A and B are shown apart, each in its own frame.
Chain A
Amino acid sequence: MQRARVDLWVGLFVALGLLALLFLALKAGNVDSMFKSEGYQIHAEFDNIGGLKAKAPVKSAGVVVGRVESVSFSNESLRAIVSARIDEEFKFPKDSSLSILTAGLLGDQFLGIDPGGDVDNLVDGDRVRITQSAIVLEKVIGQFLYGKMSDSGGN
Chain B
Amino acid sequence: MIVKTLSSLGHAIIDSIWRLGVASSFIAKVLTRSSIVLRRPQLLVDEIHFAGVLSMVIIVVSGLFVGLVLGLQGYETLKRYGSTGAVGTLVALSLVRELGPVVSALLFASRAGSAITAEIGIMKTTEQLSAMEMMAVDPHARVISPMFWGGFISMPLLAAIFSAFGILGGYLITVVVIGVDGGAFWSQMQASVDFYHDILNGVIKSVVFGFAVSSIAVFEGYSAVPTAEGVSRAVTRTVVTSALAVLALDFVLTAFMFTGGV
Contacts and interface: CB of A to CB of B under 8 A. Distances in A.
A64 to B, nearest CB: 8
A17 B160 contact: yes
A23 B240 CA distance: 32
A12, A13, A33, A57: most-surrounded residue (chain B CB, <10 A): A13
B191 interface: yes
Interface in B44-92: 45-46, 48-49, 52-53, 56, 81-83, 92
B105 to A, nearest CB: 15
Interface string A97-123: 000000010110000000000000000
B161 A28 contact: no
Contacts of A28: 92, 96, 163, 167, 189-190, 193, 199
Contacts of B167: 23-24, 27-28
B161 A16 contact: yes
A29 B262 contact: no
Contact of A10 (B48, B160, B193, B195): B48
Given A25-B199, A28-B189, A29-B199, A54 B161 contact: no
Contacts of B262: 53-55
Interface in A1-47: 3, 6-7, 9-10, 12-14, 16-21, 23-25, 27-31, 33-34
Contacts of B52: 10, 13-14, 17
A33 B191 CA distance: 10
A124 B44 CA distance: 53
Interface residues of A, number: 32
Size range of the chain B interface in the assembly: 35 or more
B193 A6 contact: no
Nearest to A31: B195
A17 B158 CA distance: 6
Main secondary structure of the interface of A (DSSP, over half): helix
Nearest to B203: A21
A33 B196 contact: yes
A76 B262 CA distance: 26
B194 interface: yes
Contacts of B82: 104
B221 interface: no
Interface of A: 3, 6-7, 9-10, 12-14, 16-21, 23-25, 27-31, 33-34, 53-55, 57, 64, 104, 106-107
Ranked 4 nearest A-B pairs via Cβ: A17-B157, A20-B164, A20-B160, A29-B193
Interface of B: 42, 45-46, 48-49, 52-53, 56, 81-83, 92, 96, 154, 156-158, 160-161, 163-165, 167, 186, 189-191, 193-196, 198-199, 203, 262
